[in-house]
Copies of this chain bind each other. A is one copy, B any other.
Amino acid sequence: MKVEKKINMCSLELLFKPRNVVILNFSQKIAFFVEGFKRQGFDLENLYLISTKEEEYSDIKCYKTFDDIQEDTIDLLILSVRRELLIKSLGDILSKKKVKFVHIFTAGTGEFDELGMEIEYQLKELLDNYKDTRAIGPNCMGLYSPRGKTAYYSSFPIEEGNIGLIFQSGDLHSKMIKFGSKRYGLRFSIGISIGNCVDIQISEILEFFNHDDATDVICVYFEGISPLYKNEGKILFNVLKKMKKPVLFMRGGRTKRGQTAILTHTGALATKSDIWSAIFKQTSVIEIPPSLDDLVDQVYLFSHYIPRVKDDNNDIIYPVNKRALVILWSGGFGILATDTLTELGLELPHFEGETLESLKKIYPLKIGSLSNPLDLPWIIDRKEFVELGKAAIGENIDLVIIETDAWRDMEDGHFKSYYNNLLALRAYVESLNKSFIIILHQYPSESQAKFTDMLMKDEFIVYSTIEAAAKSFLKLYEYGKRSVRLNKEEN
């Protein structure tokens, strides 16, 4: 076993920023890779396609054989051959040329049948003989790295962000990027669809992210450890304990029935739930229910919050309590919000004494309510809206939730005043290092889409349900509490 191969951060940087890329056995079927590179602006001079069938693709010349390529060292080789040819192809190449990283795209290996598992054993054996070559996969979509201008789909955003992804499902990985970027404008530092893990392990990528300045929060979709790396469980646990950043961890196979499904997907060894309970207890890792929607919802708040709410030492200030102020203009929604938030474990402090008196002085309501939820029909476009909000936000509030709805006429003066009120109130709330979340209900409508766009462009945090907002805030709160506790235990 070549332990020295492991955990070399410098080398991983090259995986995410390859100077050149070779795609073996290129065909139209996998043209999406090329489209991904093109869209990201990867220098096509350094992209080599090898194909016996194609002469060229989209002005990029195709080489007949690997030997035609003049580069001394290949930084990234994308291997897309039938599984029967995998060992021979890779063996041939490695015997002739220095290859830093291989992305084994081929599926139908360990997850599929015994022959496939045998191929994975042989792959590991082969790679063990080439100590400078590291591989991801097989059975994975590979890499999305805006910093290296690489992506496997042209639909992925070109802008870098602060979310790191490690996924043991290529499709979920792609959908995370697609849903996240379209729904909330999420942006990613690096995404890796890692597959069956015959070489590079999840723990290694986590360590990389832990030291990567661009990455603020990490999402993992985990199915299990490779049968070839039975120690990986322990290593992973130790890495998770050391993480200095939030890790949102979604585990496939939380149920026994789900574990049987995993056998046909990555063929990984599913880990028992009680082991995971222990891990979640002893680390600051945040468990996410088995839903991509929950993961997208929840990482949205982390990715937005972390860069903004820092103290003078540049340390992130996580909420230490979970007390919400709700402002809206609908009594019915106020009651549902109160029930939902209370059932989820948040608190809604009552206004008392001086606070209540000052609210009454600012605006004596005839309709609505000066309690929490603050129900303010008719006056949302007046300056009193902001004044009431400010007066209501005391020391005992950690989170402000505004429930709103789309306006038919966004050129209307009332709308503009209301929108300015939202901006003013957010500025005040964020100056106090508290969270400010907008709830805008979801339904197909032009004005709804336009208002959502406007809010997103101005970097409001916008959820479509109060439940999604509350659950996301609770994860932020939970992470803050647990990372503080674990830090204390450490010192």
**A contact set with B: CB distance below 8 Å:** 107-108, 111-112, 167-173, 175, 178-179, 182-183, 221, 223, 250, 252-258, 260-262, 264-266, 289-293, 330-336, 338-340, 342-343, 347-348, 350, 366-367, 369, 371, 373, 375, 405, 441-445, 449, 452, 465-467
Contact = CB atoms under 8 A, between A and B. Distances in A.
Contacts of A367: 107-108, 112
Contact of A254 (B250, B339, B366): B339
Contacts of A332: 167-173, 221, 252, 265
Contact of A335 (B265, B335, B441): B265
Nearest to A326: B261
Contacts of A170: 332
Nearest to A181: B443
A194 to B, nearest CB: 12
A245 to B, nearest CB: 24
A264 B169 contact: no
B331 A171 contact: yes
Contacts of A330: 169, 171-172, 175
Copies of this chain, complex-wide, total 2
B335 A252 contact: yes
A169 B335 contact: yes
Nearest to A331: B265
A287 to B, nearest CB: 12
A374 B107 CA distance: 17
A261 B443 contact: no
A365 to B, nearest CB: 9
B172 A336 contact: yes
Closest 10 CB pairs of A and B: A169-B332, A172-B332, A290-B339, A252-B335, A171-B330, A265-B331, A258-B339, A264-B369, A255-B342, A182-B443
A255 to B, nearest CB: 4
B258 A342 contact: yes
A161 B405 CA distance: 25
A371 B261 contact: yes
B445 A338 contact: no
Given A169-B330, A175-B333, 7 more contacts: A108-B366, A175-B405, A182-B444, A183-B443, A255-B338, A260-B350, A291-B467
B183 A331 contact: no
A375 B338 CA distance: 41
12 contacts: A108-B366, A111-B331, A171-B331, A182-B445, A255-B343, A258-B342, A261-B335, A261-B373, A264-B331, A290-B335, A292-B336, A293-B441
B265 A343 contact: no
A291 B253 contact: no
Contacts of A441: 175, 179, 292-293
Contacts of A331: 111, 169, 171, 264-266
Given A264-B375, A367-B108, A291 B223 contact: no
B443 A338 contact: no
Contact of A444 (B108, B183, B466): B183
A451 to B, nearest CB: 12
Nearest to A465: B293
Given A330-B169, A465-B293, A335 B442 contact: no
A443 to B, nearest CB: 4
A105 to B, nearest CB: 12
A339 B449 contact: no
A456 to B, nearest CB: 10
Contacts of A291: 336, 340, 465-467
Contact of A253 (B264, B293, B339): B339
A153 to B, nearest CB: 12
Given A252-B335, A253-B335, A335-B252, A340 B465 contact: no
Contacts of A292: 333, 336, 441
Given A371-B264, A444-B449, A333 B172 contact: yes
Nearest to A444: B182
A335 B258 contact: yes
Contacts of A178: 443
B262 A335 contact: yes
A125 to B, nearest CB: 24
Nearest to A179: B443
Residue picked from A261, A293, A342, A366, most chain B C-beta under 10 Å: A261
A217 B250 CA distance: 37
